[in-house]
Amino acid sequence: MAHDTLYIVDNSNEKASVKNYLSEWCSISKQMDIATGYFEIGGLLTLGEDWQKLDKIRIILGNEVTKRTKDVIEEVAQTMIERFRSSMEREQEKNEFLIGVPAIIKAMKFGKIECRVYDSNKFHAKAYITYFRDEYRDQFISAMNVPSGYALVGSSNFTKAGLTQNIELNVQVKDEVEQLQKWFDEHWQNGTDITEAVLKVMEMHCREFSPYDVYLRSMYEYFKSHEETVSEWEENESVVYKGLSQYQKDGYNSLIQIAERYSGAFLCDGVGLGKTFVGMMLIER
């Protein structure tokens, strides 16, 4: 969306979506650096195969803490991974076979995609910085001050919603892009690498299963809805339970609760109150 000399990308329509913008830049860029508060697998999947045209993708994530200690850094990294795991699970609900994810896994294994979390301070930046392919820049070699790339700076996180749905405000930066590239490099150097952890989450969701594993899972899914609760068994199938008086049922339930907590219990009712029947109920259960 052009406003005089200002180019705005706000997801107001498909043409003005961040997805459309990034897809177009993937074709003429060798690298894309992404600064985002949140990263979901849907961000890459939304770009389809376009991201594969890039030689390199670096993603740096933000955090929500200010202290820089070893424990906090590990906690931040773990929080990032948990968020990413949740995004994988949500994506699998819509995309059962996680089509497109194996290519992302391969890219991470070969270093084409790297992820870091910036843990020096709170990091809330949103930017997509591109680097022209050399052959593309050569076409404009006669022009003066040809930039090394362009950047999109604004409010869009690298998520499906941030790239396609939310009304965002992102502005394209043409001049002095080198300053943004330098800014990204400085924060990248100070980040903690979480690529391997992200990779493990994806591999866990995409690993192949043997026919026996599939059989066991199928049987579990089939029979879990047929499982009977203890209460249902007591009411419907127990021979002893229906013959107990209410105070005996109360005693029986108390014994169960005490035994679960202390690995044993004593029934100390007086003579004639039905300790034998309560004991028979326990044996039946």
Q: What is the pLDDT at residue 57?
A: 96
Domain check: are 234 and 277 in the same one?
Answer: yes
Domain check: are 50 and 76 in the same one?
Answer: yes
Structural domain includes residue 141: yes
Structural domain includes residue 219: no
Domain check: are 33 and 110 in the same one?
Answer: yes
Q: Into how many domains does the chain fold?
A: 2
Domain check: are 51 and 185 in the same one?
Answer: yes
Question: What are the tokens at 12?
Answer: 């107001």
Domain check: are 8 and 50 in the same one?
Answer: yes
Structural domain includes residue 216: no
C-alpha closest to that of 125 among 184, 171, 47 = 184
pLDDT by 10s per residue, the chain, length 285 = 554 578 999 999 999 999 999 999 999 999 999 999 887 788 888 998 899 999 999 999 876 443 443 444 455 456 656 666 676 666 666 655 556 778 888 888 889 999 998 877 778 899 999 999 887 766 655 455 567 889 999 999 998 899 999 999 999 998 888 999 999 999 999 888 888 888 777 777 666 778 888 888 888 888 776 666 778 888 888 999 989 999 999 999 999 999 988 999 999 988 989 999 999 999 998
Domain check: are 103 and 178 in the same one?
Answer: yes
Structural domain includes residue 82: yes
pTM over 0.85: no
Domain check: are 82 and 167 in the same one?
Answer: yes
Q: What is the pLDDT at residue 278?
A: 94
Range of the domain at 236: 228-284
Cα of first residue to Cα of last residue in the chain, in angstroms, is 71
Question: What are the tokens at 268?
Answer: 């100390």
Fill in the amino acid letter for 153: V
Q: What is the pLDDT at residue 235?
A: 85
Fill in the amino acid letter for 189: Q
Whole-angstrom Cα distance, residue 132 to residue 149?
5
Residue environment code for 123-146, b if the CB has 16+ CB neighbours within 10 A, otherwise e: beebbbbbbbbeeebeeeeeeeee
Domain check: are 257 and 127 in the same one?
Answer: no
Q: What is the pLDDT at residue 73?
A: 42
Whole-angstrom Cα distance, residue 17 to residue 127?
14
Domain check: are 130 and 8 in the same one?
Answer: yes
